[in-house]
Amino acid sequence: MPTLQINKLSCFYQDIQVLDLLDLTLNHNEIMCLLGESGCGKTTLLKAVAGLQAQLSGDIQINGNPVNGKGLNVAPEKRKIGFIFQDYALFPHLNVFDNIAFSLDRLSKQEIKQRVDSLLALVQLSDYSERFAHQLSGGQQQRVAIARALAYQPDLMLLDEPFSNLDHHVRFQLIDEIRALLKSSGMSALFVTHSKEEGFAFADKIALMQAGKIVQIGTAQALYCHPNSRYVADFMGLSNYLKVHAVDQFSYQSDLGLLTSDSEIELNKAPLTLLLRPEQIAITSSADGLGCISKVSFSGSYQEIRVIYRGNDYHIKHSNHFGDTQQFKVGDRVSLRVLNHDFVLLR
């Protein structure tokens, strides 16, 4: 049974449709990332699952129990969900221990102490139980928030932009820690972000949203390598679009020469658009090359190069191998070649 099942969920806010007949399934111990630009409806979706969103139509089930449906709207405290907020929402009048113990008021004192101590150990904050929120760093506050949510033993963890208030170097370390924590606790999680790097690092699957709909769902690789639209392709990374047309069952003709495919292709006279990621184009210096470099920027392990080739602009990533003597400068003549890969054709 999936942990979360959403069917045909729509939401209106002041006559604007924020969610549009949206379907989603989240399996047990799976971490899914809701990715999209601001205003695409991802936070609304999260709040709908938590029971904090009004004016919904459609069904939501958590662990097979309906929580939203016709005439049904289960109160947030009865849904067994954990919610992690962007601002952590630690209770400022309670210390770390009491924050984590907040939902444990039915247990005996000793049981509470046991549970909180083990959670503190889990998030590596055993020495901080007496501290208050304002005495903790952002990363520590986030870990307390996670421990507090885990104490309630939710069926599903919802995280709303949980890493956006953190410094870059703390962020990715914490992402690894919390991912490991959720996985080891057998938790399923739905996670909202606008940063694809966070999604890559934290989630098993990514659901990319646009205007209240999920436009593509799958692993990070699938979305990056096999996007189903230009929107997805551009959102996931830099893209080059190359006009091609089939010449026979195994090859296309293009500006960058003849491209051969390993598998048989559909013979179609109409021109097609081929997606080329910057690392799928090879670049070599050559005095009689047709390309001319317009920009070079150094990014550590690779160089980002822009080339004008037959009037079109191409983004290229050139890996800096150790001992590689090729130095590119603006104005150099170069030739380009498409590396062999699974072709992705877009409309």
Partner 1 sequence: MKLNLISNATLYKLLPWAVTCLLISPIIALLINSFSSDPQGSFQHLFDTVLLTYSLNTLLLILGVMSLSFIFAMPVAWFVACCEFPSRTILQWALMLPLAIPPYIVAIVYTDLLDFSGPLQRLLRGVMGWQRAGDYYFPEIRTLFGAILILSLALYPYLYLLLRGAFLGQSGSLFQAARSLGASPLRAFYRVSLPLSRSAIAVGLSLIAMESLGDFATVNYFAVSTLTTAVYDTWLELGSLTTAAKISSLMLLALVILISLENYSRRKQKVYQRGGATHTQLRFVLCGWQKWGALTFSWILLVAAFILPLFTLCYYALSYFSASLTAALWQYTLNSVWLAIIVAGLALLIALTVNFYQRLCPGLFARTTIRLSSLGYAVPGTVVAIGVLIPFTELDLGVNQLLLENGFSGIGLFFSGSLFILVVAYLVRFSAIAVGSIDSSLAQVSPSLDLASRSLGQNAFQTIRRVNFPLIKKGMLTAIILVFIEAMKELPTALLLRPFNFETLATYVYQFVSDEMIEYAALPALLIVLMGLIPFIIVNRLLEKST
| List of residues contacting partner 1 (CB under 8 A) | 50-55, 73, 75-79, 81-83, 85-87, 89, 91-93, 102-103, 145, 148-149, 151-152, 154
Q: Which is nearer to partner 1, 94 or 290 (CB)?
A: 94
Contact 231, 216 (CB under 8 A): no
Neighbours of 79 (CB within 10 A): 23
Q: Which is nearer to partner 1, 160 or 198 (CB)?
A: 160
Q: Which is nearer to partner 1, 14 or 110 (CB)?
A: 14
Please state the φ and ψ torsions of residue 149, each to the nearest 5 degrees.
-70, -40
Rounded CA separation 134/148 (Å) = 16
Q: Which is nearer to partner 1, 55 or 221 (CB)?
A: 55
CA distances from 317 to 161, 195, 228, 300, 322 (A): 30, 21, 23, 11, 16
Cβ 178 to partner 1 shortest distance, Å: 17
Cβ 157 to partner 1 shortest distance, Å: 10
Rounded CA separation 213/58 (Å) = 14
The number of CA neighbours under 13 Å toward the Cβ of 83 is 18
Angle, vertex CA 174, rays to CA 172 and CA 178, nearest 5:
120
Rounded CA separation 251/217 (Å) = 30
Cβ 92 to partner 1 shortest distance, Å: 7
Q: Which is nearer to partner 1, 55 or 249 (CB)?
A: 55
Calculate Rg over the CA atoms of the chain: 25
b/e map 309-331, b = 16+ CB within 10 Å: beeeebbbbbeeeeeeeeebeee
Cβ 30 to partner 1 shortest distance, Å: 20
Q: Which is nearer to partner 1, 78 or 295 (CB)?
A: 78
Cβ 234 to partner 1 shortest distance, Å: 32
Cβ 56 to partner 1 shortest distance, Å: 10
Cβ 109 to partner 1 shortest distance, Å: 17
Q: Which is nearer to partner 1, 99 or 280 (CB)?
A: 99
DSSP 339: P
